[in-house]
Amino acid sequence: MTTTPFKPIGYYLKALDTLLDEDFARSLSVHELTRRDWQVLNSLALQGPLTRQALGGLLKPFREPGARSLDEVVDALAGRGRIAADGDTLALTTAGRRVHAEAASLVDVSRARLLRGLTEDDYVRTVAVLDRMTANMASGR
């Protein structure tokens, strides 16, 4: 591996994740949403109704120590009328679909800022490298 003037990759991963959290907090505060709330709403919008277990599986990579549990996020969103439960199956309500659509516009603006100056090839190459690094570390467990 060649020596570069860059910091180790872990620095950039953590710094970017922190900046993304801060950006989500600013952008989505108008809808009283956190990044985790957005992930739940967006998962239900893209996948349709899901069981808590299936939703938990989708969001497992985003679980952080000390963060609100999935049940806490779901209960808070349900309490604000954004999702509803039919037994163990969760789905967006009409209000939830509206909030998701409005929040999606804000997320699109944030993503455009994140990707400013990058080509599609830059993005694909970056994600491919991160995917390979993730697979390498997962295989060494």
Report pLDDT for 1.
59
Residue 25 belongs to a domain = no
Q: For residue 141, is pLDDT > 80?
A: no
Whether residue 39 is contained in a domain is answered as yes
| C-alpha to C-alpha distance for 43 and 108, rounded to whole angstroms | 16
Contacts (Cβ under 8 Å, ≥6 apart) of 44: 50, 55, 83, 90, 91, 92, 96, 100
Confidence of residue 140 (pLDDT cuts 50, 70, 90): confident
Could you write out the DSSP letters of every residue in 89-116? EEEE-HHHHHHHHHHHHHHHHHHHHHTT
Q: Look at residue 41 in the predicted model and tell me its pLDDT.
A: 97
Tokens for 61? 């990579």
Task: Let me know if residue 18 belongs to a domain.
Answer: no
Does a structural domain hold residue 13? Answer: no
Residue 17, domain member (yes or no): no
Kindly state whether residue 12 falls inside one of the protein's structural domains.
Answer: no
Report the number of distinct structural domains present in the chain. 1
Q: What is the CATH number of the domain that holds 84?
A: 1.10.10.10
Average pLDDT, stretch 103-121? 96
Tell me the per-residue pLDDT of 17-70, one tens digit each, with 9 for 90 and over. Answer: 999 989 988 999 999 999 899 999 999 999 999 999 999 999 998 888 888 999
- Edge-first strand listing for the sheet containing 83-86: 50-51, 89-92, 83-86
On whether residue 22 sits in a domain, the answer given is no
Domain boundaries, position 107: 30-139
Q: Residue 48: left if φ>0, alpha if ψ -120 to 50, beta else—which one?
A: left
Q: How much is the average pLDDT of 81-99? A: 96
63 against 112, higher pLDDT = 112
Each residue of 114-132: pLDDT tens digit? 999 999 999 999 999 999 9
Residue 134 located in a structural domain? yes
pTM (whole model) above 0.85: no
